[in-house]
Amino acid sequence: MPIIKITDLNLSNKRVLIRSDLNVPIQNKKIISYARINASLPTIKLALKNNAKVIVASHLGRPKEGFYDSELSLFPIFKYFQEIFKKYKVYFCKNYLNGIETKSGELTILENVRFNKGEKNNNKHLSKTYANLCDIFVMDAFGSLHRNESSTYGLSKYSKIACSGLLLESELTALKKIIKKPIRPMITIVGGAKVSTKFNLLKSLAKISDTLIVGGGIANTFIAIDNNVGKSLYEPNFIHQAKLLRDNYNIFIPIDSKVSTTFNENSIGITKKVSDIDMNEEIMDFGENTITKMLPILQQAKTILWNGPIGVFEFKNFRKGTTALAQTIANSNAFSVAGGGDTLSVIEILNITSKISYISTGGGSFLKFLEQEEFPIIKLLERFI
């Protein structure tokens, strides 16, 4: 079923509470990355332009509920919003559970919702308290879509009317395009440490992909089906599951690897066939032949889904595989979707943000959506149609 969009509603003079995802890294009360904040701005701007009484809520980090923590306050984000929305009055509200005064065309940023006791447990009373703050609830926090908490699920359930924001709508549209009707060939890249944490994701994506490229510790487990992987990170208990995937789907597994006997940023790697890895060696990146074999597959793709680096990208000597992958995606005419925290870091470091068709702001939600799991919040939003 479709969901009511914010653009379908008359917002003028209405109290509009937008649940954004402003969970960004902050150090010494300074914002380190603005990506998620900037992605949330179009919905807020739309509400202000339509003369709504705009209220923005978000969580930040993992504070102890019921206690204030200045290190996890949204105050630095409020200060940033003051700079962005200079022609509007912008307020910061720490005590809002007993109600707040709002005016049309003004913006109020609420303090971290996770300071409120009951937030993470989706407390019914807290959810109703949030709902009483607004006439319209806008769910725009795709990164929190998989969490059934008071400011997400509870607000969706108890608000008079709930709808999707611009960011949530764009996320759902892009990911549905990948899952439902990808233009083929579709190539998927999944990196990461463990098969166990991404097995359901791998199985779901293998079914809809023409080729599934595995990297990182995940690739090591596939390599270990037939080879010794030395002291590399892999999961022996998941070799059988990996073999089932390899034997039933088109899984691209490295044929050579860059290995090292030490694990640090100054390690020097050598390239070896995956059949020749010694017990004291550790896989750190794709080898030259694997990269050469991978690039034409990516170049022929019409749809590319990317989650995770394929080597130890944080070490400069083991960036070649991921860099080659990323730059090939950036230069491709394919519809490309990238998501996951480590993936976003790679994109920022290589300065290719503008060359990726769609970059998801979600971490857990991104992966859960690709596993084709149902989201209870989506079901709640659908009921307003």
Structural tokens at position 272: 């070896």
Q: What are the CA-CA distances from residue 246 to residues 219, 223, 225, 232 (Å)?
A: 11, 10, 9, 20
**Is the previous residue joined to 376 through a cis bond, with omega within 30 degrees of 0?**
no
Report the residue count for the chain: 385
Half-sphere exposure (Cβ direction) of 94: Cα atoms closer than 13 Å: 8
Give the HSE-up count for residue 17: Cα atoms under 13 Å, Cβ half-sphere.
Answer: 28
* Binding-site residue set: 21-23, 36, 59-62, 114, 147, 198, 314, 340-343
CB–CB of 132/150 below 8 Å?
A: no
**Rounded to whole angstroms, how far apart are CA atoms 162 and 138?**
6
Phi and psi torsions of 125, nearest 5°: -65, -45
Residues with Cβ within 8 Å of 246's Cβ and at least 6 positions away in sequence, in order, are 222, 225, 253
What letter would DSSP give residue 151? I
Tokens of 143: 């990164």
Binding-site residues for (2R)-3-phosphoglycerate sit at 36, 114, 147
Binding site listing for ATP: 198, 314, 340-343
Binding-site annotation, residues for substrate: 21-23, 36, 59-62, 114, 147
| Strand order, beta sheet including 270-273 | 270-273, 256-260, 282-286
Amino acid type, 66:
G
CA distance 93 to 375: 30
